[in-house]
Structure 1
Amino acid sequence: MRISIWPDAGQPYGEILEAARHAADTGWDGVWIADHFMPNAGSADSAHPVLECGSLVAALGAVVPRVRIGTLVYGNTYRHPAVLANMAATVDQISGGRFTLGVGAGWQVNEHEQYGIELPPVKQRIDRFVEALQVLHGLLRQPETTVKGDYYQLTDAVCEPKPVQDPMPILIGAKGERRMLRIVAEYADMWNTWGKPDLIAHKSAVLDRYCSDLGRDPRDIERTAQALVVVNGPLPENSPAPVIGGSPQRLAEAIAEYRAIGLDELIVPDWRLGKGAERLAAMDTILTLVHA
């Protein structure tokens, strides 16, 4: 099972770079960056600055060696897929073939409201996302692409140069079992969602069934997941996100459970690992537990 770090984009670039370089130097497998322009409404500090995802992954791809770099995940509502394909291919060129393109349908209300970007109803948003995936697959994997959809229209469109990887993996962030996991089964090379091992195992089984319906080998789709991590300390009460750990022993048990359900990659947000030397020490402890 791979282990990757997810630095919060709401911190100075130097701190993001420190975590990414430490990951590369010590044996972590990847670095992921979220695509948002501000914290979600209701966050403790909803006004703090957030760095832009596309710029960050390009910068990290240029200066951080070895590890994979990925987006978790680009929001389709504010990223036109044709432009995004060109961005992704460029980052893959910059990184020497180490980029993973993570995409999702889009969801965060306050950034759409503040920036005046439409956030369609869920059905329309997902329909639009399916067309976007057709655009991305075509531009990144075919010489020319024509799409005549309700939301995107491309005619003999090109995206050159292509990614170094053939194919460059496309990850879909999805939790909905009625439509989104079926879309993952049809279009994704990798799947991601938040959750503890029992939830991930359940949703992974749903994804397997969709793969069977579509005649696709479920082993072709890598499974990735994340939860907040506390290395040594009390777990937060009433956390809206899943939390694992509290002590190295309990964290080791959770890691073992993820491994037992066949998770391919555990992604660790750095939000509860502390700052500076404390965060780097926590990363070292996590890595030791993963490799124990």
Structure 2
Amino acid sequence: MRISIWPGAGQRYDEILEVARHAEATGWDGVYVADHFMPNAGPGRDPLAPVLECGSLVAAVGAAVPRVRIGSLVYGNTYRHPAVLANMAATVDHVTGGRFTLGVGAGWQVNEHEQYGIELPPVKQRLDRFVEALEVLHGLLRRPGTTLHGEYYDLTDAVCEPKPVQDPLPILIGGGGERRMLGIVARYADVWNTWGHPEVIAHKSAVLDEFCAAQGRDPKQIARTAQALVVVDGPVPDMPMPVIGGSPGQLQETMQRYREIGLDELIVPDGLLGKGADRLRAMDTILGLSAAH
């Protein structure tokens, strides 16, 4: 099981780079960056807290950190035109020498759409648009030219050159909806990602397998990745997002459960790991526990 770090974009660039360089130097497999423009609205969150932009970060980190994979987790389709995004992704893949994973999702965060005047359609329309966007991304990144006259996107003999270094550049789809999103994953994704404890991931992975079978696709063609907030040694907070750990022993046990259900990659957000030297020590502990099996 690969293990990757997810430094929050709501910190200074030098802090993000410190995390990424430490991950590269100590044996982590990847570094991911979220795509948002402000914190999500909610209790205890500063609505004015600064957030760095994902597209610029993945290029900058990828250029500065030479070994690990770099990924977006995930670009929001509502505010990223897929033809523009395809060119961004191909460029980052060249910057990184073929180490980029293009993570995309349908878009969801309400406050950034409201503040910027960007439409956030109902879920069905959002997913319809996302499917068309995936057709655009597959076409531009993997074929010489693309023509698509859809409801949301209209391309005629469109090109994206140079093509990525990787053939193909892996497309990660983030989402866990069991009625439709996992069916989209089954059709278009090289990598799947969602939040969850091991039992949640195991259940949703089985649903994904069913969609793959219905579409005639080998489920082994889709890598499975997941994340949860991590506490290395301390009380586990009551949060809406899944949290694992509490002690090194508990964390190691949970990581083994992820491994047993066939997870290909565990992604660790750095939000509960502290700052500075404390965060780097926590990263070392997590990596050591991961390598113990």
- With the length of structure 1 as denominator, give the TM-score of the two structures: 0.99
Partners of 2:63 and 2:155 lie apart in 1 by 31
Runs of 4+ aligned residues of structure 1 deviating over 4 Å after TM superposition are none
RMSD after superposition: 0.5
**CA–CA separation in structure 1 for the residues paired with 2:174 and 2:266:** 14
Q: Distance in 1 between matches of 2:8 and 2:168?
A: 28
Distance in 1 between residues matched to 2:250 and 2:171, nearest whole Å: 32
Which residue number corresponds to residue 16 of structure 1? 16
The answer for the alignment partner of 2:281 in structure 1 is 281
Partner of residue 96, structure 2: 95
Q: SS of the residue aligned with 1:178? A: coil
The correspondence of residues 1-292 of structure 1 with structure 2, limited to 5 A, is: 1-42=1-42, 43-237=44-238, 239-292=239-292
Cα deviations across residues 90-135 of structure 1 (Å, max 9, x unaligned)? 0000000000000000000000000110001110000000000000
Q: Per-residue displacement from partner, 1:39-59 (whole Å, max 9, x unpaired)?
A: 001152222100000000000
TM-score by length of 2: 0.99
- Secondary structure (helix, strand or coil) at the match of 1:161 reads coil
Separation (CA, whole Å) in 2 of partners of 1:109 and 1:209: 31
Q: Quote the sequence identity (%).
A: 78
Cα distance in 1 for residues equivalent to 2:47 and 2:8 = 14
Q: What is the DSSP-based 3-state SS (H/G/I as helix, E as strand, rest coil) of the residue aligned with 2:70?
A: strand
Aligned partners of 1:90 and 1:162: how far apart in 2? 8
Q: Displacement of 1:72 after TM fit?
A: 0.3
AA aligned to 2:216 is G
Please give the secondary structure, in 1, of the residue aligned with 2:25: helix
What runs of 5+ residues in structure 2 fail to find an aligned partner?
none
Secondary structure of the corresponding residue to residue 207 of structure 2: helix
